Amino acid sequence: MLAEIMKDRNLKIIFGLLSTLLFIGLLYKLTKVPGGMILPGYFLGGIILIGVIMISLIVAAISKQIFRSFSFLTLFAITSTIAFIGFHYYLYSPTLKIIVPNGYTGTINLVLSNADDNVLTVDSNGIGYLNKWTFEKTYSKPIVQQIDGQNLDSNCVGFNPSTFWGYSKFCCVNGKTIKSLSFELERKNDGGQNQFRAKGFSQYVDTKKLY
């Protein structure tokens, strides 16, 4: 009996700490998630997080009927840890390292590709290629450098304050749809402020690489 109590206590401490750390990490990630048309990303993500916690409570309550030797808090800590890990993966976004030609300014377009590997060294038209997984998971601001190694992160202009990547879809080229993620590199208006300006690029895309 004492051994079971100690086991329950140890599991409660271990998974309680893990779930707490994962929860804090999720709160931080939600501040980086892009928003929708109206609502900010952290609000939408917060609603999902509340749903995840509620589901964890329900699963823990059901599990308590099966694993009677464990306390409800221990089971909740375990289920919430598993759920938070899954939510972390759902929110994961790779930080891409994009290489541009020396002196390049204008739009960077990363096109959805059928290739297994990403092509992040863009051509003279600012076009690179992403595999399906990377295309669907990417929302965080990339690292951008010239071929000579000069860092251009401060020159990057996102789609809007809450969403860095712009999304475009063109139909059709050789019967295929072009989907791309884009941002601007050092584009300025007359007032000297950075500005996002999407432009046509479909004529420069390698159609053999289209997804």
Tell whether the torsion through CA atoms of 191, 159, 169 and 130 is positive or negative.
positive
Residue 114 and residue 51 in contact, taking contact as beta carbons nearer than 8 Å? no
Domain spans of the chain? 2-91, 97-209
Torsion of CA 128, 133, 138, 144, to 10 degrees: -30
> For residue 167, is it left (φ>0), alpha (ψ between -120 and 50) or beta?
beta
> Measuring CA to CA, how many Å separate 127 from each of 169, 180, 184?
14, 9, 12
Residue 168: both structure tokens together = 């475009």
For the chain, 211 residues long, give each residue's pLDDT as a single digit of tens: 545 666 888 999 999 999 999 999 999 988 888 766 566 777 878 889 999 999 999 999 999 999 988 999 999 999 999 999 999 999 999 999 999 999 999 999 999 999 899 999 999 999 999 999 999 999 999 999 999 999 999 899 988 777 899 999 887 777 788 999 999 997 555 444 555 555 678 788 888 889 8
Tell me the C-alpha distance between 22 and 29, whole Å. 10
